[in-house]
Amino acid sequence: MCDSCDAGMYLMPVEYLYQQAMGETSIKRYRVCVPDCNAADSSMANNPQTLRCEYLGQFCQYGNYTHGCLRSHRNGGKYN
pLDDT score at 8: 92
pLDDT at 1: 67
| Cα–Cα distance for residue pair 20/39, rounded to 1 Å | 30
The DSSP letter of residue 5 is -
Which residues of the chain are modeled with pLDDT < 50? 79-80
Model's pTM, two decimal places? 0.75
Q: Is the dihedral of CA 34, 48, 56, 73 positive or negative?
A: negative
Q: Nearest 5°: CA angle at 77, between 75 and 79? A: 80
